[in-house]
Amino acid sequence: QVQLVESGGGLVQAGGSLRLSCAASGLTFSSYHMGWFRQTPGKEREFVGVLTRSGGNSYYADAVKGRFTISRDDAENTVYLRMNSLEPEDTAVYYCAAGQRGSIIVPEYDYWGQGTQVTVSS
């Protein structure tokens, strides 16, 4: 049974930082590209960034480029999302996902976590 469990969300002031973690189990973690997405009420889930299975390549949405960084620790089966210079517009539920393609598209991911809430106050 595959599980992805996010943690690290919370309330932070604008300009602050958070690091989200996503611990994976039940899959060969190193074989998967790992993506992060976010969603706010009434909106579709949107792509944040993806890190390839090798960790050698990453790609980010324009809205977070230069502020967010994805890293992974294959020994710990964990992927991280470091978020700096947070803005109120970053408020959302953040999800990690595992897929066989390094995609920006939701349907191309095989497994999803339950999400963690990030709230950025102004």
pLDDT (0 to 100) of residue 26: 97
Neighbours of 119 (CB within 10 A): 15
pLDDT (0 to 100) of residue 78: 98
pLDDT (0 to 100) of residue 36: 98
| Torsion sign across C-alpha atoms 18, 4, 111, 39 | negative
Region 110-119: mean pLDDT is 98
Closest CA to 117 of 24, 34, 41, 47: 41
Region 100-114: mean pLDDT is 95
* pLDDT (tens digit per residue) in 11-46: 999 999 999 999 999 999 999 999 999 999 999 999
pLDDT (0 to 100) of residue 63: 98
pLDDT (0 to 100) of residue 56: 84
* pLDDT (tens digit per residue) in 52-94: 998 889 999 999 999 999 999 999 999 999 999 999 999 999 9
Length of the chain, in residues: 122
Neighbours of 69 (CB within 10 A): 16
Are 49 and 80 a contacting pair, CB within 8 Å?
no
pLDDT (0 to 100) of residue 96: 98
